[in-house]
Amino acid sequence: MPEQKKMVEAITPMEDDFAQWYTDIVKKAQLMDYTSVRGCMVIEPYGWAIWENIQHILDKRFKELGHENVSMPMFIPESLLNKEKDHVKGFAPEVAWVTMGGNEKLQERMCVRPTSETLFCDHYAKVIHSWRDLPKLYNQWCSVVRWEKTTRPFLRSVEFHWQEGHTMHETADEAKQETERMLKVYSDFCEDKLAMPVITGRKTESEKFAGAEATYTVEAMMHDGKALQSATSHYFGDGFAKAFGVTFQGRDNSICHPFQTSWGISTRIIGGIIMTHGDNDGLVLPPAIAPIQVIIVPVSQHKPGVLEKAEEIKNRLKDRFRVRIDSSDQTPGWKFAEYEMKGVPLRLEIGPRDMAKNQCVLVRRTDREKVFTSLDGLEDAVEKQLGEVRAAMYQKALERRESMTYEAGTFDEIKQIAAEKPGLIKAMWCGDPACEEKLKDEAGVSSRCIPFNQEHISDKCVCCGKPAKQMLYWGKAY
């Protein structure tokens, strides 16, 4: 169909220019628009609807686990930020400062929050008094600002939206359990709801969050073989609590410092969804977060009863699915291409011939296979097809990751693989940061994580040949 051909040609093939393919999709699927503010974007209704669906799923899960939502200020006084030296050192290059209030110079400059550990600790020092006040399980949904030099829509912007959980616990063990529990929430969400296979593990000392004792990560692979850090969970120990004077009376009446965690996922996950599942026709959205799960396209809609039947089907489905009818005067071919571009998981076609047979046509976005379905029991048939879409998306992404994951035993091997084969590399490491730095400088790969599921590739470090301590995933990343 000429309309569909024109629509597809509007997207640069990912094989020709992956970066341009990505930009074409975020623009043509109307996820975002550029603004007059450097490095900031307008997230348009369709893009924001994806984020809202992500929010709804995660917020429900957080609350099931006992977390409560709060709202902290967007400004942090410099003196407050400086209380934890490792933390402020890690964020200093990215901080945006406010120095004027109206026409007057501020006595103390304020930073626009890059993250909120300091604000939460300042508050916790006032509200935590006894072991009976613990745990404090707080979360906030907000935007933060980091003055990035190079920006890309969703993946890296000056302002971005996220949730940040900040919890305080009576013991170190409880805090560590919370850190790992929330990491699992993220990994389950990515795999079950976003159909993104992920690797979970711990970051190295040089890659961990500023001020944390340990950082855990969820890593996914994109179409081009690069890794995307999709979510993180941090264990802080009692370092922040000591810096901010957060204390409580213990069960033995002694004065103790609580143990802290923080964890978050941001709108960059939308970029991850695009680069994991998208194709040269546009978005491919997982059903769980798709703004439209089923698009109804009436065929020969000018004929008697077609639009009425489409409306009847919509009313049947709307209580279980996010469903929409396109009854515009565009041709069916244009509509097919439009909703493929937008990544709608399932298309439902209904026309006079279908009505005569008490059926409709269901078309999956993943393979475009047509399934003729009786209108009797349609709701269950739609549920089944959406489940098949999610399963096919996950399997395709998993097979791609497995086919683009390599093993290296020597420095020359890892250097050659990194130069010639996009993807992840499994290799052993001695634990010396100097080797990690050499791999970054000379092979162009960073440590992605020390996976929980360890494998024994060899006995020697891939860099220096000394006895190895752990297997790491290495690769290039966004």
29-52 pLDDT tens trace: 999 999 999 999 999 999 999 999
Q: What are phi and psi of 395, to 5 degrees?
A: -65, -40
How many whole angstroms separate alpha carbon 139 and alpha carbon 262? 9
How many whole angstroms separate alpha carbon 11 and alpha carbon 306? 33
Mean of pLDDT over the chain:
95
Contacts of 239 (CB under 8 A, 6+ apart): 84, 86, 211, 213, 260
**Full DSSP string of 117-181:** HHHHHHHHHHH--BGGG--EEEEEEEEEE---SS-BTTTB-SEEEEEEEEEEESSHHHHHHHHHH
Question: So what's the pLDDT on residue 1?
Answer: 41
pLDDT of 446 above 90: yes
Question: Stretch 362-382: mean pLDDT, rounded?
Answer: 97
pLDDT of 317 above 50: yes
Angle at CA of residue 477, ends 476 and 478, nearest 5°:
145
How many whole angstroms separate alpha carbon 408 and alpha carbon 198? 21
Domain ranges for the chain: 12-277, 294-386, 405-475
**Based on the number of CB atoms within 10 Å of its own CB, is 366 exposed (0-12), middle (13-18) or buried (19 or more)?**
buried
Handedness of CA 366, 371, 377, 378 (dihedral sign): positive
- The CATH superfamily assigned to 294-386 is Anticodon-binding domain (3.40.50.800)
The domain made up of 12-277 has a fold known as BirA Bifunctional Protein; domain 2 (3.30.930)
Over residues 234-249, the pLDDT tens digits come to 999 999 999 999 999 9
pTM, entire model: 0.94
pLDDT of 10 above 90: no
Contacts of 458 (CB under 8 A, 6+ apart): 409, 428, 468
The domain made up of 405-475 has a fold known as Translation Initiation Factor IF3 (3.30.110)
Confidence band for 9, pLDDT divided at 50, 70 and 90: low
Handedness of CA 7, 9, 13, 18 (dihedral sign): negative
What are the Cα distances from residue 340, in Å, to 281, 325, 361, 385?
7, 15, 16, 16
Question: So what's the pLDDT on residue 85?
Answer: 75
Q: Which of 7-11, 134-138, 156-160 has the lowest mean pLDDT?
A: 7-11
Question: So what's the pLDDT on residue 92?
Answer: 81
